[in-house]
Amino acid sequence: MGSGKRSLTTVTMALACACACACAVLAASGPAYASPTPTPTSTRTTSPDLTLPPTSTPTSVSNKELEAVRTKLDTLYHSAAVATDAYNAAEEKVKEQSAQIVGLAREIVKGQERLDDLKDLAGAAARAQYRSGGLTPEAQLWLSEDPQEFLDGAGRVRQGEHATEGLLAEMTRTQQDLEQYAKDASAQWTKLESNREAKDEAKKKVKQQIAAAEKLESQLEAAEKARLAKLEEEAAYQAQTTWLNSGVTLGSGETSAQGKKAVAYATAQIGKAYEWGAEGPKTYDCSGLTSQAWASAGDGIPRTSQEQWKQLTRVDIKDMRPGDLIIYFDDASHVAMYIGDGAMVHAPRPGRTVTIAGAGSMPILGVVRPDA
């Protein structure tokens, strides 16, 4: 759509905003870490206080205190998202290295079988040579009743000697191959163990961050949780409005056939729960949703949001079209799929479901196109 077109009413969003601008449905159900600024922000690494102010009770939490809670949740879930990406990356490496080790093991088995066959052939050649030995070629010619037969046999002997030399060389090469396969398998196994440790550490961190966020939210009564949700919606709406009013020009290009399939898959998952490390079909994390959506369209893409940002073709926001992936935060820790009219579909965070939100409801790092 052109730069003058800002209407988002073509996108169906079952969301309710408490503020006067209830028409801003694109901002609703955005992740708790939504930021009102449309530019990338620095990664947050500080460890927040996980309790409400000591003078407060669940029934007397002010909006200011709730805003502090929202900020803390923002930090915790962002850290969980970063750890989730690290977990997914390590998981992909574990799968890849496991497959390589299996392949090397098969090569070792085949090489050993080949070496055994070569040894049998070499043994047979050695025995044949031993049986024909004992006399010099001149003596064998003198005693032979048919000199021509002897000469023919001598030619075959020379051929056999050359064949034996080739056989021994092949045995040497096969033995060297086996030794290299064994070294490669050992190296891959070391990497596998390292990435398993990295995966376990990332898994531990994800669980810690989510548990801390859940503990913080559990201190609130239902009414405060509802107020907190409205604050999240308002922050997302404000960020989306700021983004649209910043002069950004939305793309008007027609999506590809693959892009349409990817969008159809992603939007069909709306309402399914977020689960870190999940790739469907019942639950998803952010990059699990986008990678599976494009896989369904016949185009495999990297598993993590960071690798999607690194490896896929980057396009300007003004050229963005449905099916493109929007990468968020300066550490590329979140990803969503653009669906047109300034909206995107994504798996926000733990405790949320796959939903439609404003494309500018979080700080955008950039846009990538899987089928460029």
Summarize pLDDT for 160-174 with one digit per residue, the tens.
555 566 777 777 888
**Whole-number Cα distances in Å, 93 to 89, 178, 220, 233, 283:** 6, 24, 40, 37, 22
- What's 318's DSSP letter? G
- pLDDT above 60 for 359: yes
Please tell me the distance from the alpha carbon of residue 219 to that of residue 60, in angstroms, as a whole number. Answer: 12
- Proportion of the chain above pLDDT 90, given as a percent: 35
Contact 205, 83 (CB under 8 A): yes
How many other CB atoms are found less than 10 A from the CB of residue 139?
10
Burial label for 298, CB within 10 Å (0-12, 13-18, 19+), is exposed
Please tell me the distance from the alpha carbon of residue 368 to that of residue 110, in angstroms, as a whole number. Answer: 43
Which residues are bridge partners to 368 per DSSP? 314, 325
pLDDT band at 186 (very low <50, low <70, confident <90, very high): confident
Please tell me the distance from the alpha carbon of residue 276 to that of residue 226, in angstroms, as a whole number. Answer: 24
Q: Which part of the chain has CATH 3.90.1720.10?
A: 25-44+223-369
Dig out the tokens for 104 from the structure.
């090397």
Q: Which part of the chain has CATH 1.10.287?
A: 92-203
- Residue owning tokens 């927040």: 48
Contact 337, 289 (CB under 8 A): yes
- Residue owning tokens 């990297």: 302
Contact 33, 77 (CB under 8 A): yes
Q: 24-33, 123-132, 149-158, 248-257: lowest mean pLDDT where?
A: 24-33
pLDDT band at 357 (very low <50, low <70, confident <90, very high): very high
At 161 the pLDDT is 53
At 5 the pLDDT is 38
Q: 15-19, 112-116, 123-127, 156-160: lowest mean pLDDT where?
A: 15-19
At 330 the pLDDT is 93
- pLDDT above 50 for 368: yes
Is residue 180 classed as helix, strand or coil in its secondary structure?
Answer: helix
- pLDDT above 80 for 140: no
Dig out the tokens for 364 from the structure.
């955008």
Q: Which amino acid is at 73?
A: L
**Cis amide bond preceding 281, omega within 30:** yes
At 163 the pLDDT is 56
Question: Of the spans 55-64, 137-146, 311-320, which averages the highest pLDDT?
Answer: 311-320
Is residue 355 classed as helix, strand or coil in its secondary structure?
Answer: strand
At 60 the pLDDT is 62
Please tell me the distance from the alpha carbon of residue 40 to that of residue 332, in angstroms, as a whole number. Answer: 10
Is residue 315 classed as helix, strand or coil in its secondary structure?
Answer: strand
pLDDT tens digits, 192-202: 888 888 888 88
Please tell me the distance from the alpha carbon of residue 116 to that of residue 320, in angstroms, as a whole number. Answer: 60
pLDDT band at 347 (very low <50, low <70, confident <90, very high): very high
Q: Which residues are annotated as catalytic?
A: 286, 334, 346
pLDDT tens digits, 247-279: 888 876 789 999 999 999 999 999 999 999 999
- pLDDT above 60 for 64: yes
At 33 the pLDDT is 36
CATH class of 92-203: mainly alpha
- pLDDT above 60 for 4: no
CA 4 distance to own-chain centroid = 36
**Whole-number Cα distances in Å, 276 to 46, 88, 154, 271:** 22, 9, 75, 16
Please tell me the distance from the alpha carbon of residue 114 to that of residue 120, in angstroms, as a whole number. Answer: 10
At 170 the pLDDT is 78
At 162 the pLDDT is 56
pTM above 0.85, yes or no: no
Please tell me the distance from the alpha carbon of residue 235 to that of residue 363, in angstroms, as a whole number. Answer: 12
Dig out the tokens for 62 from the structure.
């002010």
Q: 131-145, 219-233, 289-303: lowest mean pLDDT where?
A: 131-145
Contacts of 328 (CB under 8 A, 6+ apart): 334, 335, 336, 362, 363, 364, 365
pLDDT band at 137 (very low <50, low <70, confident <90, very high): low
pLDDT tens digits, 80-126: 998 898 898 888 888 888 888 888 888 888 888 887 877 777 777 66
Architecture of domain 25-44+223-369: Alpha-Beta Complex (3.90)
Which helix (H) or strand (E) element contains residue 172? Answer: helix 147-218
Please tell me the distance from the alpha carbon of residue 27 to that of residue 23, in angstroms, as a whole number. Answer: 10
Which of 317, 348, 322, 320 is closest to 335 using CA atoms? 348
Q: What is the mean pLDDT of residues 213-223?
A: 88
